[in-house]
Every structure is written in C-alpha cells, then in structure tokens.
A and B are shown apart, each in its own frame.
Chain A
C-alpha cells in the first residue's frame, strides 16, 4: 500500500502480554505476546480457533484484562484510564454487529457521542456525516430500525457507529463472518476504501486466511495457546513463511493466494468501445466498424453497464434501447483481489469482467488472460 499521511491512527503495542483464564499452571490463552501495530495500519489477527486472537483484541479495550504485561496506545498504558473512558475512545465492531434493536439507526450511531455528552446539534451533524461516509442516505435511514435493514446495511451502520467519536483505534471482531461471500467481498472493499479516507489503526480478527491477506497491512498469525507464529506483511508471510505451522496454515495454494495480494486496480484495464442508450444505430455501427472488435459495451445515461451489443445483431436504424444489451459481464470492483476476480470470471460465461467504481460507472474490462499473466513464474505480484 502506498505510504501516505495517515490522519487518524495511533500506535498500539503489546509488551510481554500473557492472559491466563484460571490458576497458574493452566495453559495460557495468550502467551508472552509482544508486537507493535503501526499507526494507521490494518493489523489482522488470524489463527485457528483457540489461538487467543479474540482475547488478544479484547485486551486492548480491557474487555479482558492481561494477567501479565502491558498494552499501550500511543505510549499510554491502557490501564491509565478507567475501562469505561478507555472504551469510549476505541471503536468496536462485533460479528453480529450488535445494533440495538430498540433504537433507530441514528440513535445507534449517536451512542458514544451521547456517552461523551456532545451537544445535540453536533451529534446530529456527526450522524449525518457518518451515514453519508458509509454510503447510507441519512434522510432515508436515520429513523429506521435495525430490523428493517439488510445484513449489509446493518454492517455499514455498525461501522458508522464505531467511527462516531472519531477514535484513533478500531477493533473489529470477525465483522464479516456472518454474511455471504459476495456481500463480504463488497463490504471488505468498502472498508478498505473507507480506511483510505480515515486512516485508523484497525485491529481485525478473522479465522479466514484469505480475508487476512486481503485486508491486512500486517498479519499476526497466532497458534494454539496464544503464541505468535509470525507478524509480517501479507507478502512476506506468503513468500517466506516463518515456520511449518505458518506454511501449513496459509495453505498449499500459496501461489494462488499471491493473487490475493494484488487488486483489480493494479492491472491495466482494457478500454472497450462504449455505446450509450439513445445513440442512433447508424452512428453505433460506424463506430463499431472503426473499432473492429465486433462488440460494444452498452451503458445507461449514468454510465452504468447494461451488457454487450453485438454488431451482427444490430437493427438497421432507430436508436439503441436497454433491451438490446446481452447481460452476463461479471461485475468487478477496483478493490476486488485478483484471486476473487479470477474465480468470478472462471464461473461466468463471458470471461471478461466489467470493472466499475463505487457509483457503478464503467472503468474498463478485465480478462482472465490479464490475470494469468500475473501468475507466470517470473512475474511478481504487483502491489502498488
């Protein structure tokens, strides 16, 4: 990831932290853990169940207290503040989102600002700003209750709520664990896009290696008993696993996984011939002849893709209509990993994906060939 000024993060360090549930002698849940998470980075804690990843995260906001050792945020010991004060300054997102069902979306987002006794006008302004930030139109969503939201919308509200008081550190406990794979990819992309804007230090817990590799600036792999197996960038973990355990945990398909390091936006996209609904067919035919590929991508007035138009099937005159498009181009986003893109493309009839931005406007096309180019042995996974 490009080094850039990260506005909102704080350094989180673990110094010889041990957590034991029960008397000495019982194997610890977390064993002598030391690591430093740089400000503004996403650090993913990953490992098999029972590796203490959730406990490790929960010690940062003192939902679990270490048996020994010290945790600091920007140099300050987390025990210097009362647990309640500390937690108000740390964003927290859990797997089931944990939105309060008896409160509206707006009230849910306003919880921490209210705890901090912000003046009402400032809270109202902040709620608007956050809902917009996570892509939910405030007017339409503020007064709704969680029960009427889709899973993805709830997740977005959960993230907005965690960001409410602009905390330097966010804790996310398997935030996308309960959603289907397609939605998960979208939400992951949204979080990455959001993180590019807010630059928080995010501690993210997952048991999914692919998610770890995609989301992380740095991955901490833990093994049973809370022992740190490796703490490094995703590239380093894939290319130089520190131990057999890491190699095994990351999986035999390391080569393929390297595709998870690169995103669609890292590749040169093909610029297709784009024709718009309402264009005269005579003009379209002329442009397709000049282009020579025999097909064009039909978009609507807002540049959103509708499907393919074949020159052989183009009627003689009149103007292009929406019905003329043959759908089937799998949609991709710039943040989608090449691994996910490849599997999407292989699963569709047209092995050419349409890459769109967050407003669904066409950015270009991606082919399977372009991805396999990256897989060539001498090629290194590009990561800008």
Chain B
C-alpha cells in the first residue's frame, strides 16, 4: 500500500510534469518513436507481403529472412546498429536513429507473414472468377485479395504495433529517451516507484494500441466477411 502511495506521489509531483525529464516529454518520445517505427515497418513490409502473397513467388526466401529477423532480439539489433550509426553520424548516431532501426526490424516480420498468409488464404476460385471477368492483376490485388485478406493483414499490423510500443522502452539504453528512460533512472537511483510507474504507463499504452487496432480491424472488415449469422438480412 505504501509502495502504491509512492507511485502516486511520483505521478502527482509537479516536477514529474515539467522540464527535460517530464512524463509528457518521455511519453511523446515513446509515442513518436513507436509511430514512426510502425509506419516505416508497414511501408517496407506491406509491399513485400503483397508481392509474394499475390504471386506466390519468393515466399520461402522472404519467410526465412523474416524469421532470422525475429530470431534476433531487439537488444541485439541495438548492439549491432549502434556502432554503425555512431561511425556514420557521430553524436546523431545515438538515441532516436538506432532505436528506430531496431524497432523497424521488429515491426516487419509479423506484417510480412500475415500479409502473405492472408493473401494465400483467399480462395483460388475467387481469383479465377475475378480474372475470368476481366480484372487486371493489380485490380485483383486491390479489389479482391486485399479486402478479403484485410482482417489478417491488420492483425499482423496490430501485433507489430503492440510489440513496438512495448519494446520502444529499450531506446533508453541508447539515449533515445522514451518511458524506458524512467525505468533506467529508477534502477540507477533505486527509485522503484518510478520504475513501476513508467512500466505501468508502457503497459497501458500497449493495451490502448491493441484496442485501437482491434477497433480499426473491425471497422475495415466488410460486413460480408463476418460470420454468416450476423450478416444483415435487414441491412
């Protein structure tokens, strides 16, 4: 009880809310780093997933590469990237950039594999029907395959997003700020309420991300793809 009181005291201390080490600043660092990493991850992974999912070619290579990506822990990515960015950008090679690269590497695999799997699951008969009616390959992809695979694709983006938000904490190790910084500080100065408070915020942020994408997934899915039972005879 006393501990929770100390956590509350940290949250209510005006000093926690202003200056160069404030909660809003660290939160903003956390959210902007995560959002940028996710956006870049989608930008890289989606075209790859769409290309191999539509053509069925290159699937084995792409899955192998993404699995290697998955096998390397995010801390490992940081360790590999940091020396390179430091050499290339000197002081600019610290903080945001190496953290971003590690998080993008983390974001890519679930999106590639889900996009690929989602497209391959689309009934071949439907694609044959689409082609037989005179749809070009690009239109088959955008008007048939992607809308039908969308729930699966978005599930991939959602799991990437949650992982990125949770892992962005590590950016603190390379001076990237984020809520992880409070955790590091807390460990160094043995201020456990601060560690706990920051971890709590990361958890809430991750859950909020999960919720947001679940909602998005639901909104973006055609009613026709939901179970036949709740497809509106009235709609």
CB of A88 within 8 A of CB of B133, answer yes
Which residue of A63, A85, A143 is within 8 Å of B235 (Cβ)? A143
Contacts of A86 in B (CB 8 A): 134
Given known contacts A98-B128, A102-B148, A146 and B224 CB-to-CB distance under 8 angstroms: yes
Chain A residues, CB < 8 A from B129: 92, 94, 97-98, 100
With A101-B225, A102-B148 known to touch, is A148 a contact of B233 (CB < 8 Å)?
yes
Residue-wise interface mask of B (111-139) relative to A, using a CB-CB cutoff of 8 A (1 in contact, 0 not) = 00000000000010110111111111001
Q: B73 contacts the other chain (Cβ, under 8 Å)? A: no
Residue of A nearest to B144 (CB): A100
Bound: A85/B136 CA distance, A? 10
> Residues 165-203 of chain B: 1 if any A CB is under 8 Å from the residue's CB, otherwise 0?
000000000000000000000000000000000000000
Q: What 0/1 readout, one digit per residue, does chain B (197-235) give for beta carbons within 8 Å of chain A?
A: 000000000000000000000000011110110011101
Instruction: Let me know if B148 and A101 touch, CB within 8 A.
Output: yes
- Tally of chain B residues near chain A (CB < 8 A): 26
A95–B231 alpha-carbon span in the complex (Å)? 23
Cβ < 8 Å to A, chain B residues 67-100: none
Nearest-CB residue, chain A, relative to B224: A145
Contact with A along B14-52 (1 / 0, CB 8 A): 000000000000000000000000000000000000000
Chain A residues lying within 8 Å of B125, measured Cβ to Cβ, are 94-96, 98
Distance in angstroms from B103 CB to nearest chain A CB is 32
Among A61, A84, A86, A97, chain B packs the most CB atoms within 10 A around the CB of A84
Collect the chain B residues with CB atoms within 8 Å of residue A85's CB: 134
Looking at the assembled complex, report how far the CB atom of B165 sits from the nearest CB atom of chain A, in whole angstroms.
30
* Contact of A171 with B224 in the complex, beta carbons under 8 Å: no
A144 within 8 A of B: yes
A346 at the interface (CB under 8 A from B): no
The answer to whether B148 and A63 touch across the interface, beta carbons within 8 angstroms, is: no
Partner of A104, one of B128, B147, B148, B224: B224
Instruction: Decide if A92 touches B132 in the complex (CB within 8 Å).
Output: yes
Q: Known contacts being A94-B125, A102-B147, A102-B148, is A147 close to B132, with CB within 8 Å? A: no
Is A111 located at the chain interface by the 8 A CB criterion?
Answer: yes
Contacts of B147 in A (CB 8 A): 102
Query: Which residue of A is nearest B226, CB measured?
Result: A147
Set of chain A residues within 8 Å of B227, measured between Cβ atoms: 147
On whether the beta carbons of A87 and B231 are closer than 8 Å, the reply is no
How many A residues, CB 8 Å from partner?
A: 30
Taking CB atoms, residues of chain A closer than 8 Å to B144 are 100
- Are A63 and B128 in contact (CB-based, < 8 A)? yes
A84 x B136 contact (CB < 8 A): yes
Q: Which residue of A lies closest to B146 (CB)?
A: A102
Residue A256 is within 8 A (CB to CB) of chain B in the complex: no
Partner of B134, one of A97, A115, A146: A115
Q: Give the distance in Å from the alpha carbon of A161 to the alpha carbon of B134 in the complex.
A: 13
If A100-B126, A102-B222, A143-B235 touch, does A148 touch B228 (CB 8 Å cutoff)?
Answer: yes
Asked if B133 and A112 make an inter-chain contact with CB atoms under 8 angstroms apart, the answer reads yes
* A194 interface residue per 8 A CB criterion: no
Q: Are B233 and A84 in contact (CB under 8 A)?
A: no
Name the B residues within 8 Å of A236 (CB-CB). Answer: none
Q: Which of A132-150 contact B (CB under 8 A)?
A: 143-148
Residues of A with C-beta under 8 A to B228: 147-148
Which residues of A (285-319) have their CB < 8 Å from a CB of B? Answer: none
- The answer to whether B132 and A144 have CB atoms under 8 Å apart is no
Give A108 to B134 CA distance when docked, in angstroms: 14
B217 CB, min distance to chain A CBs, angstroms: 14
The CA of A195 and the CA of B128, in the complex, are separated in Å by 24
A350 located at the interface, meaning its Cβ lies under 8 Å from any Cβ of chain B in the complex:
no
Contact assessment for B231 and A144 in the assembled complex, using a CB-CB cutoff below 8 Å: yes
CB distance from B197 to the nearest CB of A (A): 45
Min distance, Cβ A32 to any Cβ of chain B, angstroms: 25
Least distance between B99 CB and chain A CB atoms (Å): 38
Say whether B131 contacts A144, CB under 8 Å.
no
Instruction: Name 6 interchain pairs, CB-CB below 8 A, sorted by A.
Output: A98-B128, A100-B126, A101-B126, A102-B148, A145-B224, A171-B132
Listed in ascending order, the chain A residues whose CB lies under 8 Å from chain B are: 61, 63, 84-89, 92, 94-98, 100-104, 111-112, 115, 143-148, 161, 171
